[in-house]
Structure 1
Amino acid sequence: MPEFPNLILFAIPVFILAMLLEMYVITKQQIKSYELIDSLSSIAMGIGNVFIEFLSKAVVLFSFFWIYENLRIFTIPISWWSFILIFFADDLSYYFFHRISHESRLFWASHVVHHSSKHYNLSTALRQTWSGGFYTFVFWLWMPLVGFHPAMILLQMSISLLYQFWIHTETINKMPKWFEAVMNTPSHHRVHHGSNPLYLDRNHAGILIIWDKLFGTFQPELKEEKVIYGLVVNIETYNPFKIAFLEWRDLFIDAFSGKKSFKQRLQYLIKPPGWRHDGTGKLSGDLRDEWLQSSAQSQSQSQSQSQFNENINL
């Protein structure tokens, strides 16, 4: 077992210093992105995640090692070139994990935690799930199968998580164009945290934004469409235990109560958030289409009014 450092634990002091620096900068810039009780909730979620990770990591390690020792097809050595390979392999795995976490309610139940704040700052990055670590690792199971050592996989997963910390900020507007074109940035990730219909379920990238551009889920941040952070229907609580488990409660109520067929109960787990068996629900795509249609009508009316005013002036 190669010994790699636990980067997350080493990074905790850096997280604290970075948040203090961000608070200083936003005070200078007069940006109101922090609310004390909200940030304390996020930090509590982060602390809980660290402790629960000691249990979930045992499940992950056992699964990775069992596949690596018994089923692996190749053996990829721990070398400089294999770290390049695993960088792309991990980032692609993260993209699909993140995308499905928005498209399947079973995975959304744990991921919704990260989107539950109506503020966007570095403390929001710490608002992590207490339940996802026990099952979301399935998106990485193919990696020990093809021969990546489990220790390498966990190291790269930590690197990806650390990278995503700094993009949770409003203090940085845009990075250089070449960087924005390839990498995930604060601007791209602000879109991801938006509850605006135009921004829903967009920009699922971990480190490289190229996956969203390749698979059709990219949306740039628009000056005329200010990001509204949070959920379509916000949970209105700062209680860490409620933040962690409210969606699980609602999911089980929807799936297992009332008169529904087995297929309908299963669909509540598989279908996206907002889906209802009676057809009354609205998915993010429906909300986006409605917004785009409304926006097009408003633009058309505005153009007609402008043309009318020009004719009057003539």
Structure 2
Amino acid sequence: METYGKILLIAMPAFLLLVLAEAYYGVWKGKQTVRNLDMISSLSSGITNVTKDVLGLSIAIIGYGWLVDKLAIVHIENNILTYIIAFVALDFAGYWVHRLDHEYNFFWNAHIIHHSSEDFNLACALRQSISVVFRLFTIFLLPAALLGVPTMVIAVVAPLHLFAQFWYHTQHINKMGFLEKIIVTPSHHRVHHAINPEYLDKNYGQIFIIWDKLFGTYQEELADKPPVYGITRPVQTWNPIKINFMHLGLLIKDAWLTKSWNDKFRIWMMPTGWRPADVAEKYPVHKINDVYNMQKFDTKASPSLHMWSWVQITMTLLFISYLFGNIASINALNAYYIYVYGVFIFLSVYAYTDLMDRNKYAIVWEVIKNSLGIAIILQTGDWFGAAALSPVLKYIIGAYFILSTMFTLWFVMKHAKEDERVAILA
């Protein structure tokens, strides 16, 4: 937990700088692939994901260490070859988990957030799930366990394998010659994120494209079929927490509403997108059929809302950086404090992305978040030990909570008046 937090303190600023650099590069080249609110939504999804991971809010059904202890045929030495084997094993496991996520209704909920952006850029790489509680990933590491690859090697290689999947989420790199035959490139991954019929459920590879070619899921990017991004049932929101549970909510609703008991049970493991016939007929869900004429989700946003959204995500990044840098000291104050802090981060993201959606209930979530923050300061006389850095920090943070409530209320009222004016004119 603490080690991963320290790694993220370095990784987060690096990813943010690269995301912003891509946006500026797009302006310079006259090919902008980044929209501001979509980028903030993607970054916010990354915030919730790393918070969940650092707090350890997921459980492996079978631990890798257990697999090694019980099933290892040999025990290879800890050397450079071991790390190479571990990397390949992780990639093999990643391919199958990724494919499982795409092909079955229940597992798609864990991956929908990553595909929910209707843009394709470095920021959307950060859209990662918070809805997974029980992880199946370890099961697919059986080849590494049989070879006795040490648990510590997997622990070191896994973050590197994950971070190595960031760079190819871009439209600014064309096909890469002979590398197209070996590794996953931006061209391969553009196909994977596209909703064109030719591209759906293709190119699951994470580092090596060889798995797709071996198992029949490879598709080349076609010059006459420009990729269109998103999901066929568009999410229509900037709020990453809502997106994470949207598909699960639909499954639960459909299972409840269908009159067929058989469908109530089989819906979970049916192909992604399948719905009981009676429910689909009575409660149709909007689905994109003509990908080339789709309208991307957007919300009316003034320059002031754009600026305020950046203020909010910047403050959230500062809060989360403090958490990751001080996990041990916060935990020493009280074991449950880091979970309270996690709730605060999630409330922050929910509130300002709901405001980006122009949802009037954004003020409710903002008040809850800021009330929690003020209550922490009043009860403890500090902000999770921040007084050690400066005794005035709690006053600055408290002032932010008050101002944040006031600004959010102002925006909600402003949006209500604008919507009322539009309704009158209509």
Q: Using the alignment, how far apart are the partners of 2:78 and 2:13 within structure 1?
A: 29
Q: Using the alignment, how far apart are the partners of 2:7 and 2:139 within structure 1?
A: 21
Distance 1:4 1:55, change over 3 A: closer
CA displacement 1:60-107 (0-9 Å, x = unmatched)? 498223333455443333211111211221111111111111111111
Consecutive unaligned residues in structure 2, runs of 5 or more: 281-286, 291-426
Q: Which residue number in structure 1 is paired with residue 235 of structure 2? A: 235
How many pairs are equivalent? 280
One-letter identity of the residue aligned with 2:163: L
Q: Using the alignment, how far apart are the partners of 2:81 and 2:115 within structure 1?
A: 35
Distance 1:142 1:255, change over 3 A: farther
Distance 1:154 1:265, change over 3 A: farther
CA displacement 1:11-63 (0-9 Å, x = unmatched)? 22221221122112111221231111111111111011111012447734982
Q: Is the 8 A contact 2:26 2:32 kept in 1?
A: yes
One-letter identity of the residue aligned with 1:44: S
**Percent identity of the aligned residues?**
37
SS at match of 1:198: coil
One-letter identity of the residue aligned with 1:260: S
Q: Using the alignment, how far apart are the partners of 2:12 and 2:140 within structure 1?
A: 25
RMSD of Structure 2 on Structure 1 (CA): 2.7
Alignment map for 1:177-196 (pairs within 5 Å): 177-196=177-196
SS at match of 1:129: coil
Q: Using the alignment, how far apart are the partners of 1:7 and 1:54 within structure 2?
A: 10
Distance 1:227 1:153, change over 3 A: same
Distance 1:252 1:5, change over 3 A: closer
Q: Is the 8 A contact 1:33 1:119 kept in 2?
A: yes
Q: Which residue number in structure 1 is paired with residue 378 of structure 2? A: none
Alignment map for 1:47-86 (pairs within 5 Å): 47-56=47-56, 59-60=59-60, 63-86=63-86
Distance 1:258 1:279, change over 3 A: closer
Q: Is the 8 A contact 1:109 1:251 kept in 2?
A: no
Q: Using the alignment, how far apart are the partners of 2:139 and 2:98 within structure 1?
A: 10
Q: Using the alignment, how far apart are the partners of 1:94 and 1:104 within structure 2?
A: 16
Mapped pair 1:278 → 2:303: no
Q: Which residue number in structure 2 is paired with residue 169 of structure 1? A: 170
Alignment map for 1:211-230 (pairs within 5 Å): 211-230=211-230
Consecutive unaligned residues in structure 1, runs of 5 or more: 282-286, 292-314
Distance 1:98 1:204, change over 3 A: same
One-letter identity of the residue aligned with 2:248: W
One-letter identity of the residue aligned with 1:163: A
SS at match of 1:31: coil
Instruction: Give the superposition deviation at 1:150.
Output: 2.3
TM superposition score normalised by structure 1? 0.81
One-letter identity of the residue aligned with 1:173: N
Distance 1:153 1:30, change over 3 A: same
Q: Which residue number in structure 2 is paired with residue 307 of structure 1? A: none
Q: Which residue number in structure 2 is paired with residue 155 of structure 1? A: 156
CA displacement 1:104-127 (0-9 Å, x = unmatched)? 111101101100000111110001
Q: Using the alignment, how far apart are the partners of 1:5 and 1:210 within structure 2?
A: 33
Q: Which residue number in structure 2 is paired with residue 43 of structure 1? A: 43
Q: Is the 8 A contact 2:60 2:136 kept in 1?
A: no
Alignment map for 1:1-314 (pairs within 5 Å): 7-56=7-56, 59-60=59-60, 63-132=63-132, 134-142=134-142, 145-146=145-146, 147-175=148-176, 177-261=177-261, 263-278=262-277
Q: Using the alignment, how far apart are the partners of 1:67 and 1:86 within structure 2?
A: 14
Q: Using the alignment, how far apart are the partners of 2:82 and 2:24 within structure 1?
A: 40
Instruction: Give the superposition deviation at 1:6.
Output: 6.4
Q: Is the 8 A contact 1:188 1:219 kept in 2?
A: yes
Pair member with larger Rg: 2
One-letter identity of the residue aligned with 1:130: I
One-letter identity of the residue aligned with 1:81: L
Distance 1:130 1:276, change over 3 A: same
Q: Using the alignment, how far apart are the partners of 1:10 and 1:74 within structure 2?
A: 36
TM superposition score normalised by structure 2? 0.60
Distance 1:216 1:28, change over 3 A: same
Q: Is the 8 A contact 1:53 1:133 kept in 2?
A: no
Instruction: Give the superposition deviation at 1:279.
Output: 9.0
Q: Using the alignment, how far apart are the partners of 1:93 and 1:278 within structure 2?
A: 34
Distance 1:253 1:174, change over 3 A: same
Q: Which residue number in structure 1 is paired with residue 383 of structure 2? A: none
SS at match of 1:225: coil
SS at match of 2:224: coil
SS at match of 1:155: helix
Q: Is the 8 A contact 2:89 2:144 kept in 1?
A: no
One-letter identity of the residue aligned with 1:275: W
Structure 1, 11-20 or 234-243: larger mean CA deviation? 11-20
Q: Using the alignment, how far apart are the partners of 1:4 and 1:42 within structure 2?
A: 21
Instruction: Give the superposition deviation at 1:161.
Output: 1.4
Q: Is the 8 A contact 1:7 1:159 kept in 2?
A: no
Q: Is the 8 A contact 2:117 2:230 kept in 1?
A: yes
